[in-house]
Amino acid sequence: MLQFIAKRLAMLVATLLVASFAIYGALYLAPGSPIAALTGGRTLPPEVMAQIEARYHLNEPFLTRYWLWLTAAVHGDLGESIPLHESVNTLIAQRIGTTLQLVLFASILIVMFGVSLGIIGALGRGAVDTGVLFASTVSAALPAFAAAVILQFIFGVMLGWFPVLGTGEGFVDTVKHLTLPAIALAATSTALVTRVTRTAVREELDREHVQTAVSRGLPWSDVVRRHVLRNAAIPITTVVGITIASLIALSAVVETAFALNGLGAYLVQAAQNKDFAVVQGISLVLVVAFVITNVVVDIAYALLDPRVSLGSRAQ
Amino acid sequence: MSIEILDPVAEVIDNAPANRRIPKLGFLGWLSVAVIALALFLAIFGPMLAPYDPTLSNLSYSNVGPIAGHPLGFDDQGRDVLSRLMAGARTTIFGAAFVSLIAIFVGTALALLTAWFGGKTDTFISAALDVLFAFPGILLAVVAAAVFGPSLLSAGLALSIAYSPYVARVLRGAALKERAMTYISALEVQGFGAWRLTLRHLLPNISALIVAQGTILFGFAMVDLAAISFLGLGVQSPNADWGVMVSEGKTSLLQGYPLVSLSAVVCIVSVVAAVSFLGDRLESNSRGGNR
Amino acid sequence: MSELLTVTDLTVRLKMDSGMREVITGTSLSIAQGEAMGLVGESGSGKSMTAKAIARLLPDGAETLGSVVFDGVDVLALSGDELREHRAQVAVVFQDPRAHINPVRRIDDFMTESLRTLRNVPKGDARTRAATALEEVGIDDPAKRLRQYPHELSGGMLQRVMIATALLSEPRLLLADECTTALDVTTQAEVMAILDDLRRERGLSMLFITHDLELAGAVCDRTTVMYAGQVVETREARLLHGDPLHPYSAALVDARPDIDSTADRLRAIPGRPLSAFEAPSGCRFATRCSFAQDSCREHEQVITELDGGFVRCERAIELRGKVREGAHV
């Protein structure tokens, strides 16, 4: 197990290294000088230009600049936004909380509703199952931005139950402000988790070892808990983990739709303003979060399934 | 053999009609086909058939609801919503088709390469794909917008790159399985070349899966492209596009006039639902068909 | 001997996409206290379904007619706790132990689960009993095996675990469903010997399902042969092998290659085995029987007593002693 984790961590570091290079390199290739964004097209005296270039290492060769950026990033310094004259760390720190809360809230919804509806659908056949299938089919076809718009209209504009824009103050108000965004973010994933759970539980119900448990006269609740759900937990955990990882990038859409002051929405703004240091910084943070979530999923998978051969995730 | 091992259930299934040239789709399947056909028709002819100029604005009609000759009313700029929906089908549908075609092409090529050569090629390509997996499609598209400026092209290319590893991973498995079949090695021993075997035997045998993957991908691409246009990083206003329309109509929606956003949402959701339903059907058919 | 299990006129229909399909028609058999009954037939003959009906393990939507009485209790009418108690008294040893043991739980958990949940045996005691049971089936280092997962054990070893587990809960009847078919030949013999010994020691009743007539003859007191969902012959195991009454039993005996004689070629039974729902009217075996005549195809065959056994063939008396040569054609 330790060897497995070590191997996954090594792959993680390698992936992040290449990914950071790609992020930095892509933005380096971008046409137009970062100074143009700063000066807004005005011509500056050469001394000032030189000063700026020295300050942001703009004259150094690419690899040197990448190295400087990477070592700083590893030490927790993501550089400075040229147009805003502000540390990227500060900009991120102001917003990461909202994104974390949003993703966490949505994850809770996904696990709570996705898994339980899937189990209910698989165990209760007939009308219950049809209802679950129908609900998950509708919700699966609802992209986050579409869900956002519909929720805003129904629960914000028509019913007035929830605020439609902005981040709240204090716990209750924050939850209130994040409820619709979290539902919008969770809609598609909940449907996916419901379906996978339903299929996994149903497949497990048909397994021979479950028949053995039944044949031994064990109570049905024990059979379901100790054999059906325990074994179905393996694919369910994997899909829950992967969908939660996918929320990290998708949060940009929901944050923009609900005007939340989060990392994703800010990344989009920075991309529009060509604030490269911020784009690099936030991209790096999101990629790290995404990759780490995936590694955690892999490790959870290995812990849940004693048969897992090291380093492979079942498809 | 004295005693045949026969399963009565398997036998019942075996007796089912063997030739299924036309896939069994059912009512919902054919409804999906109809929705997709309509979407394709609009993508090709929509801009020509639109009753009004989709970009012509008349502010005196701002947010005016359905009236005679304008069944879906006007948006906040006073443009005809129906015309914008019809014209917007083109970028939405063709954009998604472009993304899924490129991703399928690149993904299939990578899968066939890894399956045919195995060994170091496989290791190298698989490792490269693992790195690409670290970039969610939307993130890649946002970065691409920062680098190349926001446009449908940059968003589309970014998504194609982000999707390719998923295609490659799914198809690699199927291709490897086929590659391991004895008939391939038999043909190889007879001196048939790699190109011929790959194109004439491997590829046709995984083609059903490729079609299914392409369909599923098309649904994803539509959602993601629309989301990126919604963020303002894809198709640019005032050009008509369903994703752009959702975002354009949002201010009005919050003020109580939801028609623009919601009509675009309905268009997107119905096509995506049709495509994903059909994709699931095709995929289970193609997997079930693999004896 | 008193009868422990009596199956009378059991008919089973399963729900399939195309409607209800009959898989067993009017099957009767009985097992006495301490008796081993062999149940022999080709795939689809209904032998496994008979066992499933006895253990009440038929798939959802199955329809049953007739009766199954176990120790005076009508099994088909049971539900809830009584049904679970019945299942606890009937232990099943399945064909494929790898599929029938939960792969993500340790051997320890598999073996002690019934004791802990149904008999309230404390965990420590249950484990000690499991270790002893493993030793009885010839598994070394039981402490280590108990800690392992199913995928770490060989097929033969797993089947022994299954047998040990079945005996651990002190059942009254053992249903062994092709329990050695998935094993290789040498392991098969070992596992069979262990099962036979332990059963005799305990005086346990057993329904032994197999397609191997000779194996049934070796370990069973009586043998029942099924064809297309019907019992065609029940006889003392040793007699059935040497002197079968029904042409189908004879064909089964002859289909097995004999080491002592050098046959030119193996004799197969012509045609393929039928399931109950595809069987023709009249004698169900008529399509494949070398003795079939018009009257066989016209009459539903009834089971009759003959020479201490039961046979479902109207020509049985007439063909007495000739059925084996006939199959030699």
* C259-284 residue pLDDT tens: 555 555 556 777 777 888 888 888 88
pLDDT for B10: 37
DSSP characters for B43-111? Answer: HHHHHHH-SS-TT---GGGTT---BTTBTT-B-TT--BHHHHHHHHHHHHHHHHHHHHHHHHHHHHHHH
Superfamily of structural domain A98-304: MetI-like (1.10.3720.10)
pLDDT for A312: 43
- What is d(CA A106, CA A112) in angstroms, rounded to the nearest whole number? 10
Which residues of chain A are within 8 Å of residue C92 when distances are taken between CB atoms?
212, 215
pLDDT for B102: 93
Q: Which residues form the domain of C288?
A: 1-104+149-329
Considering A283-297, B114-128, B166-180, the range whose residues carry the highest mean pLDDT is A283-297
Q: Nearest residue of A to residue B133 by CA position?
A: A291
Query: Is-contact C230 C282, C-beta < 8 A?
Result: no
CB under 8 Å, gap of 24 or more: what pairs does C301-304 form?
Answer: C303/C28, C303/C231
On whether residue C244 sits in a domain, the answer given is: yes
Find, among C75, C58, C73, C72, the residue nearest to C12 by Cα. C58
Rounded to the nearest angstrom, the minimum Cα separation between A22 and chain C is 41
Average pLDDT estimate for A153-163: 81
In angstroms, what is the C-alpha Rg of chain C? 21
For chain C, percent of residues with pLDDT exceeding 70:
94
pLDDT for C207: 92
Chain B interface test: which of A149, A164, A278, A297 (most B C-beta within 10 Å): A149
Average pLDDT estimate for C112-131: 89
DSSP single-letter state for residue A141: T
Instruction: For residue C322, give the CATH number of its domain.
Output: 3.40.50.300
Which residues of chain A are within 8 Å of residue B284 when distances are taken between CB atoms?
none
A205 touches chain C (CB under 8 A): no
Query: Who among C87, C104, C149 is closest to A231 (CB)?
Result: C104
Characterize the bridge pairing of strands A86-87 and A80-81.
antiparallel
Chain A interface test: which of C70, C104, C173 (most A C-beta within 10 Å): C104
Find, among B266, B235, B270, B245, the residue nearest to B80 by Cα. B245
Chain B interface test: which of A7, A103, A153 (most B C-beta within 10 Å): A153
- What is d(CA A181, CA A197) in angstroms, rounded to the nearest whole number? 24
Instruction: Please state which of the ranges A36-40, A173-177, C84-88 shows the lowest mean pLDDT.
Output: A36-40
Query: Is-contact C42 C273, C-beta < 8 A?
Result: yes
Query: Who among B6, B7, B12 is closest to C272 (CB)?
Result: B6
**pLDDT tens digits, residue range C215-265?**
888 888 899 999 888 888 888 888 887 788 888 888 888 776 655 555 555
**pLDDT tens digits, residue range A71-87?**
888 887 777 777 777 88
pLDDT for A185: 92
pLDDT tops 90 at residue B6 = no
**pLDDT tens digits, residue range C11-25?**
999 888 778 888 888
pLDDT tops 50 at residue B231 = yes
Characterize the bridge pairing of strands C36-40 and C63-70.
unpaired
pLDDT tops 90 at residue A109 = yes
Rounded to the nearest angstrom, the minimum Cα separation between C264 and chain B is 14
Q: Which residue did the predictor score with more confidence, B284 or B95? A: B95
> At A37, is the pLDDT very low, low, confident or very high (cuts 50, 70, 90)?
low
Is there a contact between B11 and C18 if contact means CB atoms under 8 Å apart?
no
| Structural domain count of chain C | 1
Mean pLDDT of chain B: 78
Query: Is-contact C5 C69, C-beta < 8 A?
Result: yes
Rounded to the nearest angstrom, the minimum Cα separation between A126 and chain C is 13
> At C287, is the pLDDT very low, low, confident or very high (cuts 50, 70, 90)?
confident
pLDDT for B13: 36
Is there a contact between C43 and B7 if contact means CB atoms under 8 Å apart?
yes
> At A105, is the pLDDT very low, low, confident or very high (cuts 50, 70, 90)?
very high
Superfamily of structural domain B27-49+76-289: MetI-like (1.10.3720.10)
pLDDT for B115: 78
List C-alpha distances in Å: C249 to C233, C261, C270, C282, C292: 7, 20, 14, 18, 14
pLDDT for A311: 42
Query: Who among B4, B9, B11 is closest to C42 (CB)?
Result: B4
On whether residue C123 sits in a domain, the answer given is: no
C18 touches chain B (CB under 8 A): yes
pLDDT tops 50 at residue C204 = yes
Rounded to the nearest angstrom, the minimum Cα separation between B2 and chain C is 5
- What is d(CA A100, CA A88) in angstroms, rounded to the nearest whole number? 18
For chain B, percent of residues with pLDDT exceeding 90:
3
Q: Nearest residue of A to residue C58 by CA position?
A: A211
**pLDDT tens digits, residue range A274-315?**
888 888 888 888 888 888 888 888 888 888 888 775 444 433
Average pLDDT estimate for A160-189: 82
Q: Which residue did the predictor score with more confidence, C237 or A41? A: C237
Query: Who among B131, B135, B233 is closest to A271 (CB)?
Result: B233
Is there a contact between B261 and A142 if contact means CB atoms under 8 Å apart?
no
DSSP characters for B246-280? Answer: HHHTHHHHHTT--HHHHHHHHHHHHHHHHHHHHHH
Which residues of chain A are within 8 Å of residue B169 when distances are taken between CB atoms?
315
Residues 6+ apart with CB under 8 A from A35: A49, A52, A53, A58, A82
Which residues of chain C are within 8 Å of residue B9 when distances are taken between CB atoms?
16
Chain C interface test: which of A216, A226, A229 (most C C-beta within 10 Å): A216
Mean pLDDT of chain C: 84
Considering A120-134, B50-64, B152-166, the range whose residues carry the highest mean pLDDT is B152-166
Listed in order, the ranges of chain A carrying CATH 1.10.3720.10 are 98-304
Rounded to the nearest angstrom, the minimum Cα separation between A192 and chain C is 25
For chain A, percent of residues with pLDDT exceeding 70:
91
**pLDDT tens digits, residue range B253-278?**
788 788 888 888 888 888 888 888 88
In angstroms, what is the C-alpha Rg of chain B? 23
> At A107, is the pLDDT very low, low, confident or very high (cuts 50, 70, 90)?
very high
pLDDT for A21: 84
pLDDT for A182: 92
pLDDT tops 80 at residue A164 = no
Q: Nearest residue of A to residue C92 by CA position?
A: A215
Rounded to the nearest angstrom, the minimum Cα separation between C121 and chain B is 40
pLDDT for B5: 37
Is there a contact between B139 and A249 if contact means CB atoms under 8 Å apart?
yes
On whether residue C153 sits in a domain, the answer given is: yes
Rounded to the nearest angstrom, the minimum Cα separation between B61 and chain A is 22
pLDDT for A104: 92
pLDDT tops 80 at residue B15 = no
Mean pLDDT of chain A: 82
